[in-house]
Amino acid sequence: MTVDDQAAAESEREARDEVRGKLLGTWQLVSYTARSTDGDVVQPLGPTPYGLIVYTLEGYMSAQLGRGERPRLESARLEDAATDELARAAIGYVAYGGPFEVTGPGTVEHHVTTSLFPNWIGRTQARTVRFDGPLLRLGLATPTRLWGAERTAELTWIRPA
């Protein structure tokens, strides 16, 4: 490895470490939008989504996101709730977690080990990372089939007050 190669590798590592350091802690969801390749924009969790994403020093992350207007269940206890009510509640909620890795100055990978959607377990969710003042913007780098069209998505987060 040449001196130039070593310097480039060191610079890349420092950039990844800087992003990792900025990610650490708790972020509160501000908005979630998905844009189709023809420009159509949807809000997958409605106009008032809520959620938290947490990145730990130990290298783990957890994301919990919900539709703001999810109706409460009739039962006060989870185990007593009707199956159809539980299904409706799950449709408006996203939850997953596992180890994370900053793979570049603009990319983080979430290695899913637990998820409300079992098909994500064992898979990697790659996200673009961009810091915009106090905001964290996580997105899909390439269009993916979402809500009936090829779309990219962006989730905007802020540190809780």
- What pLDDT digit, counting tens, does each position of 82-136 carry? 999 998 888 999 999 999 999 999 999 999 999 999 999 999 999 999 999 999 9
pLDDT digits over 26-74, tens only?
999 999 999 998 889 999 999 999 999 999 999 999 999 999 988 888 8
Containing domain of residue 113, as a range?
3-158
- Per the structure, the count of domains in the chain is 1
Angle at 57 between CA 53 and CA 62, to 5 degrees: 25
Here the CATH number for the domain that contains residue 42 is: 2.40.128
Residues 160/140, Cβ–Cβ less than 8 Å = no
